[in-house]
Amino acid sequence: MYLVVLFAAALSASTFALDNGLMRTPPMGWLAWERFRCDIDCEHDPKNCISENLFIDMADRLSEDGWRELGYVLVSIDDCWSSMERDEEGRLQPDPKRFPGGIPKLARYMHDRGLKLGIYGDMGTHTCGGYPGTPLDKIKIDAQTFADWGVDVLKFDGCYSNSTEQEQGYPLMSKALNATGRPIGYSCSWPAYQGGLPPKVNYTQLGLICNLWRNYGDIQDSWDSVLNIVDWFFENQDVVAPAAGPGGWNDPDMLIVGDFGLSMDQSRSQMALWAIMAAPLFMSNDLRTISSGARSILQNQMAISINQDPMGIQGRRIVKENSGIDVFLRPLSNNASALVFFSRRKDMPYRYQTSLRKLNYPTGSYKIFNVFTEKTMMLKDSTDFVVSVNPTGVVMWYVSAPAKMNLHQFYRGARLRGSPYDEKDENNIPQLI
Ligand SMILES: *[C@@H]1O[C@H](CO)[C@@H](O)[C@H](O)[C@H]1NC(C)=O
Ligand SMILES: *[C@@H]1O[C@H](CO)[C@@H](O)[C@H](O)[C@H]1NC(C)=O
Ligand SMILES: *[C@@H]1O[C@H](CO)[C@@H](O)[C@H](O)[C@H]1NC(C)=O
């Protein structure tokens, strides 16, 4: 019965979110790391090195190729942007050769185009790439520097710090950002360094100090990596899903759609499951050369609007079949929901038969919109249907409920089947008011 828990938790979570008014829906944009890493060789690889040109190129693509209008507005610098030395006043500074115009120039470039600029720091002596970090005694000055530059989001990594320092540093940076008076979105890598689970990780506290947080390891450009992340998030959904809500999001890491590791089916799977998870949509790809297939997946308006649903309830896995089919459900505004049928199989398209009633939808006639084929149909709860799910692919539906359907009843009715959580949840059914 965990959908009930989820709903109740989401209502309370929004009351306890970080109070900076930002990221009421999951942030969207582009982040350099997975695709461009720490390529600083501008002499030999000028188009791909971490430099102001790369971020300007991506800003141009976001604003000219239809991304910005869909919500992809954040352009984020990751590691390896800074000089190895702080300046005479002890402030971080960008590498002068690769960022000759300085960070304020980039921030203005973004703002002039209706975009935002994100930057990267590290709560430790060094960044993961070996650049100057932000140890405890530098937190205030670095927060102020980022604010002075006009930065909109800070990703705060955790290399080269221990758990005691992190316990102090992550809340301290939250306070320091607030004290600058500039609203700056705050992405905390803290839980990823503490295993992502209680008791080491306190999700209530994270929601109070951060706008998003990386729970788990870095994504790599492969299907194995996507599947590993998906499994971690849904195996631990009882812990992580209730933490999400307007102003505070679990971050399973970047979208690698448009890179080298995923087939088109796997790309749709990543997009669909990131939408179910209410995950930040940070693409890490080359928008200058992206294929039209990858682009149309990332620009799918219904997948985006499911991801951006204003209630901000993170969806869950509701069925895990021995056949290798998983079903995921996310409750949405207007009594609607999103369903994803996902196949772990490697052989051939699998014909999965079920009904909305078997998925515990209440009696009624539902309008189904297939997110990737854009076909619609009406479906009674009692009608058995078959979805053909490609190997490592998905079928994704937006399900409109009949008018006046009672949302609470819907959540109360949604039950697990074949899930390891079944028993536990049956014994722990909270009552909705
Ligand atoms: C963490 O590092 C600090 C030095 O910055 C040290 O004093 C402290 O003992 C370390 N704590 C742990 C738990 O390793
Ligand atoms: C700082 O925190 C206060 C209280 O939580 C909040 O009202 C204010 O909007 C915050 N300011 C910024 C810039 O984040
Ligand atoms: C988690 O953090 C919240 C908010 O800071 C706090 O009230 C609560 O006691 C913490 N829980 C644990 C188990 O430490």
Q: Is the confidence at residue 412, as pLDDT, over 60?
A: no
Estimate to the nearest angstrom the gap between the alpha carbon of 394 and the chain centroid: 19
Give the pLDDT confidence score for residue 8 in this predicted structure. 41
Nearest CA to ligand 1 atom 14: 162
Q: Does the C-beta of 204 come closer than 6 Å to ligand 3?
A: yes
Torsion of CA 209, 214, 215, 218, to 10 degrees: -160
Question: Which residue of 126, 160, 164, 193 sits with most ligand 1 atoms within 8 Å of its CB, as the best mutation to test the pocket?
Answer: 164
Q: Does the C-beta of 83 come closer than 6 Å to ligand 2?
A: no
Q: Is the confidence at residue 321, as pLDDT, over 90?
A: yes
DSSP track, 271-285: HHHHHHTT--EEE-S
pTM value? 0.93
Is 218 one of the annotated active-site residues of the chain? yes
Query: Ligand 3 centroid to 201 CA: how many Å?
Result: 10
Give the pLDDT confidence score for residue 16 in this predicted structure. 72
**Averaged pLDDT score across all residues of the chain:** 92
Q: Which CATH number fits domain 6-307: 1.10.10.60, 3.20.20.70, 3.40.50.2020, 3.40.50.970?
A: 3.20.20.70
Torsion of CA 155, 157, 163, 165, to 10 degrees: -70
Per the CB < 8 A criterion, the answer to whether 124 and 154 are in contact is: no
Give the pLDDT confidence score for residue 58 in this predicted structure. 99
User: Residue holding tokens 């009715």?
Assistant: 413
Q: Which CATH architecture has domain 316-432?
A: Sandwich (2.60)
DSSP track, 214-267: E-SPPP-SSHHHHHHHHHHHHHTHHHHGGG-BTTBEEE---B-TTSSS--HHHH
Q: Is the confidence at residue 11, as pLDDT, over 80?
A: no
The Cβ of residue 59 has, within 10 Å, a number of other Cβ atoms equal to 22
* Structure confidence at residue 5 as a pLDDT band (50, 70, 90): very low
Q: Where along the chain do the CATH 3.20.20.70 domains lie?
A: 6-307
Per the CB < 8 A criterion, the answer to whether 187 and 211 are in contact is: yes
**Which tokens go with 178?**
């607030």
**CA end-to-end span of the chain:** 16
Q: Where along the chain do the CATH 2.60.40.1180 domains lie?
A: 316-432
Rounded Cα distance, 325 and 55, in Å: 40
Q: Mean per-residue pLDDT for 358-364?
A: 94
- State how far the alpha carbon of 116 is from the alpha carbons of 56, 63, 113, 152, 366, in Å: 12, 11, 9, 6, 39
Is 326 one of the annotated active-site residues of the chain? no
pLDDT single digits (tens) 19-69: 999 999 999 999 999 999 999 999 999 999 999 999 999 999 999 999 999
CA atoms within 13 A on the CB side of 157: 23
* Cis preceding linkage at 199, omega within 30: yes
Give the pLDDT confidence score for residue 208 in this predicted structure. 98
Nearest CA to ligand 3 atom 11: 202
